[in-house]
Amino acid sequence: MTLPAFQIGLLAFSATVALVFGLSPFAVAQTDPKATADEHFKRGVAMFQDRRFGDAATEFEEAYRLSPAYVVLYNIGQVNVALGRSVEAVDAYEKYLKQGASEISAERTREVQAEITKQRDRIGIVTVRTNPPGADIRIDGRWIGRSPLPHPVHATIGRHAFDAILSGFVPQVQEVDVIGRAEQALDITFAVDPAVTAKDTEAKVAEAKAEAAAARPGAAPTAAAAPVVTVVEIPRPEANVNVRPGASPDAEHAAAARSTVNWQRVVGYAVAIGGLGTATVGGLLAYDGANKMNDANARLAKEPTPMAYDTALTTYYNADYADGQHRNRLGWTIAGIGGAALIGGIIVIVTAPEKSASPNTNVSLTLSPIMTAAWNGLTLQGVY
């Protein structure tokens, strides 16, 4: 199996790191940071080959923290490229070239520089300003500093959430679509937090009253000033002229919402649609029965001799004709029931009263249809 070039590079650097750390590949010394770093590095290589890039990044970063060998930075850069973290990849590659300096081959230097150029095309710059300053700034939940920030924020292309938090003000969250190799300005203006402002005002009023009392000539020493309670009058809602005496407004609103649904009309549509479907089925059945009767008559008429006619009459004609006749009668009965239901549904719809959203709407007419099917027809009754 042929490995990709970057995986071959990782394997080669695995052996190089073992030499740089001065360790045997099989030596494990828990008390030696270099040995522990070597183990983290080896696990990172294995995880990278398994395409577990997030875990590989963690292992490489831990290896570099324990033993900061510049060769590990190359692997950190590669795994960040795989994760789409262009800012972190460029940072690792630049540190790799700076720390490795002349020890890095010219070919590897050109390769890394080309990758840096490629990744910078995927990085945008966002200048964050807040009014007032002094806010804690986070990008995608990661704290990056306090405004005014010393440097613009570099972010990988895509949408990022910027959080700004300042004591005494409402927290702000804004999303920014970062564009590669483009500079953007993000101005955040805070709104005063009403709750904090009220508390500060009460404290200042109490303090001012205490100072005024102490400044009066001959004033006796006073105890600690009592907290000032600010009474805020809440405007009463306008009277609802549609609320029935003794009924709560919430109950009236709920009743109004229910009254907007015209259930009589809903029932009427259901009955009419059902009647139409039933009449259609009955008509088709009656049509099929009539065709069968006609077919029986036509077959009987084709018999050439009286003997054949008598044989056909007793063999199939009586049964076929009787079956067709039964279907025809049953079909017309069903169609009649469906037609009556259709008419009844239309009557229910037409006589349905208009509904209003007002809870005081008076309904003067209702219709409760009652239909009874019998052998000799359909009975339709109504209660008004």
Q: From the first residue on, what is the mean pLDDT of each consecutive set of 10 residues in the chain (384 residues)?
A: 47 45 43 88 95 95 94 96 96 95 94 96 96 95 94 95 94 95 94 74 65 60 44 43 48 53 82 90 89 80 66 71 87 90 87 58 43 52 46
Q: Is residue 209 part of a domain?
A: no
- What's the rounded Cα separation, in Å, for the pair 346 and 265? 9
Is residue 238, in this structure, part of any structural domain at all? no
| Percent helix, strand and coil across the chain, each to the nearest 5 | 55, 15, 30
Q: What is the CATH number of the domain that holds 80?
A: 1.25.40.10
Among 133, 161, 189, residue at a domain's last position? 189
Structural domain span for residue 133: 123-189
Instruction: Determine, yes or no, domain membership for 59.
Output: yes
Per-residue confidence (pLDDT) for residue 301, from 0 to 100: 73
Query: What pLDDT was estimated at residue 254?
Result: 52
| Residue count (the chain) | 384
Token pair, residue 66, equals 């324990």
Using DSSP bridges, classify how beta strands 158-165 and 172-178 pair: parallel, antiparallel or unpaired: antiparallel
Which of these three, 139, 162, 189, is where a domain ends? 189
Spatial separation of the C-alpha atoms in residues 72 and 20, rounded to whole Å:
11
Question: Is the same domain home to 114 and 138?
Answer: no
What is the number of structural domains in the chain?
3
Q: Are residues 62 and 74 in the same domain?
A: yes
State whether 285 and 355 are in the same domain: yes
Distance CA 158, CA 179 (A): 7
Question: 25 and 83, same structural domain?
Answer: yes
Shared domain check, 142 and 113: no
Residue 231, pLDDT score = 40
206 in a domain, yes or no?
A: no
Residue 29 is predicted with a pLDDT of 42
Look at residue 12 in the predicted model and tell me its pLDDT. Answer: 46
At residue 217, the pLDDT reads 55
Residues 44 and 71 in one domain: yes
Query: Does a structural domain hold residue 203?
Result: no
